[in-house]
Structure 1
Amino acid sequence: MLNQLAINSNTYHGFSLEDAVKGASRAGFTQIELSAVKDHTAHVLPEMSSKQFHKIKELLHEYKMQCVGIGAHSNVMKAEGIDNLLKSIDLAVEFNCPYIITATGDSHHDSDVVEDERILAENIEPVIQKCEKLNKTLVIETHGNNYSTGVALKKLAASLNNRIKINYDTANVIFYGNTLPYDDLEASADCVAFMHLKDKRGAFNEWNFPAIGDGDLDFRKIFRILTNANYRGPISVEIEFTPAGPADLEEVNEAVKRSYAYLSRLIE
């Protein structure tokens, strides 16, 4: 599974994509999920120019880094969120990757309540159609106050379309759903196409996501579940630290390096 590892560029929130690519490459990563979240971590955006896209591709090529997904968190209950997802499919085409990652609500401080899933289904239908046309997969993350567990998302995906799969975040199910990821992942693994591998410390609702191996999660158990499920999708490492954030770029790079080293030992 070592060849399935990627770095989520949101790990380098507050720093440049060049910082992310260089730091992750030096740690050992060869794949990256590009964060395309406006007003948060906007390492790529649909409105960038062809010149900007070319520069990013040159950066990835220089460090032998392959893009595996576009992290484009959008609120699917709002017209602007759907518009952003539609444009983000073009980003997946631009960077030749199969996955677009979103949640159902806002990327942070998600307060919308999905009271009628028929509205959600109607909203997301043009996204599904475009994904089918361009052979892309939309993966919805365990995130927010509506679909915080894999089991909940599996049920939603089954009601929509086979172009919709789960992006399973191992720490979000704790933070948002007060649910440990083991039984929940096992019950939903057959619908998981993308992983956010994230560690967790402290109380369930405490924002504390350290380097992989520095928190409380049992990753041996998680990888056993993935192996038993014959999981073949990307495993995108995400470190979000505490509300204070990292002290500097060096702290981020060290956490990324430590995470890769820990996972290399664990997987091998």
Structure 2
Amino acid sequence: MLEQLAINSNTYHGYSLEDAVKGARKAGFTQMELSAVKSHTAHVLAEMSPKELNSVKELLRDYGMKCVGIGAHSNVMKEEGITNLLKSVDLAVEFDCNYIITATGDTHEVADVIDDQKVLVANLEPIIEKCAKLGKVLVLETHGHNFPTGTSLIKLVQSFNNRVKINYDTANVIFYGNTLPYEDLEASIDYVEFIHLKDKLGLYNEWNFPAIGEGDLDFTKLFGILKKANYKGPISVEIEFTPSGPANLEEVNQSVKRSFSYLSKLISAWKRKL
């Protein structure tokens, strides 16, 4: 599973994509999920010029970093969110990756309540059609109060006849859903095709997402669930720290390095026991 690991560039929120690529590559990562969220972490955007996009591609090539997904969180309950996500599908073509990642509401706000799922389904349909036409997969993240867990997303995903999958965030299910990820992941794993691997400390609704291995989650148990299900998709590591954020770039880099080291040792030791 080491070959499935990637780093979510949102880990470097507040820093440049060059900072993210350099730091993650030095830590040992060779794959990256590019954050394309205009209101939060805009490392790539659909509005970028061909020259700007080529510069990003050159940066990735120079550091031997492959893009595995575009994190294009958009509020698809609003017209501008639908438009943004449609345009963002083109980024997956630009960077030759299979996945577009979004939730259903704002990036971090969770005030919107989806009363009628039929509206959401209708809003997502043109995006799904474009993904299908271009050979891309839309994955919906466990995020917000409407769809905080894997099991809460199953019915929605089923309504799209296997054309949409789940992006399972191992810490969001705690933060938004007050649910530990183990049984929930097992129950929804057949629909999961992308993982946000995130650790969690503190109360369930406390924003505290440290380096992997420094929180409360049992990653040996989580990897066991993935192995049993023969999960083959990306495992994108995300560190979101606390509300105050990291002190500096060095703290981010060290957290990324410790996360990769922890996961490398865990996966190697786990494989020897099989």
SS in 2 for 1:130: helix
2:264 is the counterpart of 1:264? yes
SS in 1 for 2:159: helix
AA in 2 matched with 1:144: G
Report 1:21-36 matches (<5 A): 21-36=21-36
* TM-score w.r.t. length of structure 2: 0.97
Matched positions, count: 268
Asked whether the 8 Å contact 1:139–1:165 carries over to 2, the reply is: yes
AA in 2 matched with 1:54: N
Identify the residue that residue 226 of structure 2 maps to in structure 1: 226
Identify the residue that residue 125 of structure 2 maps to in structure 1: 125
2:240 is the counterpart of 1:244? no
Cα distance, 1:110 vs structure 2: 1.8
AA in 2 matched with 1:29: F
AA in 2 matched with 1:6: A
2:198 is the counterpart of 1:198? yes
AA in 2 matched with 1:260: F
Asked whether the 8 Å contact 1:11–1:252 carries over to 2, the reply is: yes
Report 1:101-180 matches (<5 A): 101-180=101-180
Identify the residue that residue 210 of structure 1 maps to in structure 2: 210
Deviations 1:191-218 (A, max 9, x none): 0000000000000000000000000000
AA in 1 matched with 2:182: Y
Identify the residue that residue 184 of structure 2 maps to in structure 1: 184
Aligned equivalents of 1:83, 1:163: Cα separation in 2: 19
Aligned equivalents of 1:57, 1:134: Cα separation in 2: 20
Identify the residue that residue 48 of structure 1 maps to in structure 2: 48
Aligned equivalents of 2:155, 2:24: Cα separation in 1: 35
AA in 1 matched with 2:216: D
Asked whether the 8 Å contact 1:128–1:161 carries over to 2, the reply is: no
Cα distance, 1:122 vs structure 2: 0.8
Gaps of 5+ in 2: 269-274
Q: Which runs of 4+ in 1 moved over 2 A?
A: none
Asked whether the 8 Å contact 1:101–1:141 carries over to 2, the reply is: yes
AA in 2 matched with 1:47: E
Q: What is the RMSD computed on CA atoms of the aligned residues?
A: 0.5
Cα distance, 1:83 vs structure 2: 0.5
Cα distance, 1:98 vs structure 2: 0.3
Q: Which moved more, 1:154-163 or 1:16-25?
A: 154-163
AA in 2 matched with 1:145: H
Report 1:60-139 matches (<5 A): 60-139=60-139
Cα distance, 1:21 vs structure 2: 0.2
Aligned equivalents of 2:68, 2:244: Cα separation in 1: 29
Aligned equivalents of 1:75, 1:160: Cα separation in 2: 19
Asked whether the 8 Å contact 1:171–1:199 carries over to 2, the reply is: yes
* TM-score w.r.t. length of structure 1: 0.99
Cα distance, 1:240 vs structure 2: 0.2
Cα distance, 1:161 vs structure 2: 3.4
